[in-house]
Amino acid sequence: MISPHSDDLYENVITDFLSLTVCRDLTTTPTRCYFPKDLLKNFNDDELKELLAMKAVYISGKNVQGPPIRKVRPIVEYEEEFGFVFNFDFRVDKITGERMAAFNPSQQYLIDKLRKDVEECPFETSLTKTGTFFILANRKVMHARAPVDIDKACAPTSKSLESPLTAPRLLYRSKGSRVSFSFEHITAMTL
């Protein structure tokens, strides 16, 4: 299982959009999509006010080589053009532990409440058919994955899990930043 999260919150580059392409999925395990409004419904006004003002430390996981990367950023941000964006990451890495922790330890109870409530949140699911795309606004919604039932689709060997050519589940991630294009910028690109 991969817990609900937004990608790359520990990076300096902001990933606004994420596309997950199903290249192969013999396990038929969909991606789950969670909405922050469902996560915040049990917060009272005081808790929401504190959450809107607090920061968290985001820590890279086992997918990043070398020492863990740490980034401090607000949990909720407001962008003039994009509105509210949410920096949530509920994954717990075997190496680094919780990937999101309160910058101010006295506010950790809010993250603990979010972590508990996310387990009860409703979610939407993607299609698992080969060739489909699941495109999402990375910091407007969270994505996750239910536990993969490898035995359901195949009898994996250690080699089948190591190679993209034989892996029972293969998704390709494409990600990018939002860019505002002016008419002059588009004209310059086409010339």
**Domain layout of the chain by residue ranges:** 2-190
First to last CA, the chain: 47
Quick one: pLDDT at residue 181? 47
Q: Which two tokens stand for residue 2?
A: 């991969």
Quick one: pLDDT at residue 169? 83
26-35, 122-131, 156-165: which range is least confident on average? 156-165
Quick one: pLDDT at residue 190? 41
- The predicted model scores a pTM of 0.83
Quick one: pLDDT at residue 153? 59
Task: Band the pLDDT of 157: cuts 50, 70, 90.
Answer: low
The CATH H-level (homologous superfamily) assignment of domain 2-190 is: Clavaminate synthase-like (3.60.130.10)
Task: Band the pLDDT of 48: cuts 50, 70, 90.
Answer: very high
CA distance 30 to 52: 31
| Per-residue pLDDT at 159 exceeds 60 | no
Contact 7, 18 (CB under 8 A): yes
| Per-residue pLDDT at 70 exceeds 50 | yes
Average pLDDT over residues 114-132: 93
